[in-house]
Amino acid sequence: MPVLDAALLFFAGFLSGAVNAIAGGGTFITFGAMSLVGLPPIVANATSSLTQFPGYVTSTLAYWSDIKHFWRTALLLGLI
């Protein structure tokens, strides 16, 4: 892998983690970056989803004090 591609993926991953923790949508950044370096769309989508999962868990734990009051509503919406 060329150094420029690796640098692009590194910065896209860093930026998408920050965006995802604040507002969501970091997958748009990682998916686009992986597509630019030549990964097939299915591989880019699966890899992007897998790499965003730790950020989802970390964000949930960080915002837990704000969202713990709505767990019943969230559970109900999750079942729907």
User: How many C-beta atoms lie closer than 10 Å to residue 34's C-beta?
Assistant: 23
pTM given for the model? 0.68
User: Buried b / exposed e across 5-26, counting CB within 10 Å, b at 16+?
Assistant: eeeebeebbeebbebbeeeeeb
Q: What is the pLDDT of residue 11?
A: 94
Tell me the mean pLDDT per 10 residues along the chain, length 80: 92 88 84 93 91 82 84 83
